[in-house]
């Protein structure tokens, strides 16, 4: 009995490692309208979707809508772009930029608990 519990416990540890650290998320592709790559992102306990795949060289428009009142997600920060935006609850805030090179542009909340990224492909 005890051995079984021990094994289950260790399996749980392995699962935590896999689920939170090793799991590779699949990106969500954007829709392209008149040359602009647009996507709606819902902010509630996380960014949904949180991995967004875009093409380089074309403007990207991210429409964030925060659907919670918890202060954690009040601000979204694109550190590598030097941009940030306040997200008032219920309002849609749009951030626009044009990625010039392939790579990853991470974004997160102020405390770094919620994270997402824009994956730029060439």
Partner 1 sequence: MEVTRNKQPPGPGAASLCLPLPQVKDTARARALSHALRQVAGIEAVQVNLARQEAHLTYNPGAISVAGVVEAVERAGYSVGRAELRAHIAGMHCASCVARIEDVLRAVPGVLDASVNPATGVATVEYVPGTADFRAIQAAVESVGYQTAHPLEQPPAPEEEAEAHAREYKSLMAKFWFAAAVSVPTVLVAYPNVSWLYAPYLFSSAISEGVVWLLWVLSGLVTLPVMFYSGRQFFTGAASAFRHHAADMNTLIALGTGAAWLYSTAALIFPRLFPAGTAEPFYDVTAVVTALVVLGQALEVRAKGQTSQAIRKLIGLQARTARVLREGRELEIPVEEVEVDDVVVVRPGEKIPVDGVIIEGQSALDESMVTGESLPVDKQPGDEVIGATVNTTGSFKFRATKVGKDTALAQIVKMVQDAMGSKAPIARLVDVVSGYFVPAVMIIAVLTFLAWLNFGPSPALAYAVVTAVTVLIIACPCAVGMAVPLSLVAGLGKAAEHGVLIRNGEALQTASALKTVVLDKTGTITKGKPELTDALPAPGFDEKTLIHLAASADRPSEHPLAQAIVKGAQARGLEPLEPGAFKAVPGHGVEAAVDGKRVLVGNRKLMEREKVDTSSLAEAVGRLQGEGKTAMYVAVDGQAAGVVAVADTLKEDSVEAIRVMRQMGLEVVMLTGDNERTARSIARQVGIERVLAEVLPEEKANQVHALKAEGKKVGMVGDGINDAPALVEADVGFAIGTGTDVAIEAADVTLIGGSLKGVAYAIEVSKATMQNAKQSLFGAFVYNVLGIPVAAGILFPFFGILLSPILAGAAMAISSITVVSNANRLRFFRARSFTRA
Which of 3, 31 has the CB closer to partner 1?
A: 3
- Please report how close the Cβ of residue 9 comes to partner 1 at its closest, in angstroms: 4
Alpha carbons 94 and 66: distance in angstroms, whole number:
12
Nearer to partner 1, 37 or 108 (CB): 108
Would you say 4 or 122 has its CB closer to partner 1?
4
Cβ proximity to partner 1, 10 vs 102, nearer residue: 10
Residues that bind partner 1 (CB under 8 A): 2, 5-6, 9-10, 12-13, 16-17, 19-21, 23, 25, 44-48, 50, 68-72, 75, 77, 79, 82-86, 88-91, 108, 110-115
Burial environment of residue 117 by CB neighbours within 10 A (0 to 12, 13 to 18, 19 or more)? buried
How near is the Cβ of 88 to partner 1 at its closest, in Å?
A: 6
Query: In the complex, what is the shortest distance from the CB of residue 22 to partner 1, in angstroms, rounded to a whole number?
Result: 10
Shortest Cβ 108–partner 1 spacing (Å): 7
Among candidate residues 48, 52, 68, the one with its CA nearest the CA of residue 60? 52
């Amino acid at each position: 009995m005890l051995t079984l519990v021990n094994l289950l416990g260790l399996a749980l540890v392995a699962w935590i490692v896999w689920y939170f650290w090793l799991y590779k998320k699949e990106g969500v592709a954007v829709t392209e309208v008149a040359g602009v790559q647009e996507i709606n992102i819902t902010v509630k306990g996380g960014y949904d979707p949180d991995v967004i795949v875009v093409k380089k060289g074309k403007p990207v428009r991210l429409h964030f809508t925060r659907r919670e009142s918890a202060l954690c997600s009040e601000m979204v920060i694109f550190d590598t772009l030097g941009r940030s935006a306040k997200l008032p609850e219920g309002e849609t805030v749009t951030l626009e930029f044009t990625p010039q090179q392939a790579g990853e542009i991470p974004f997160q909340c102020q405390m770094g608990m919620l994270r997402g990224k824009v994956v730029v492909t060439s």
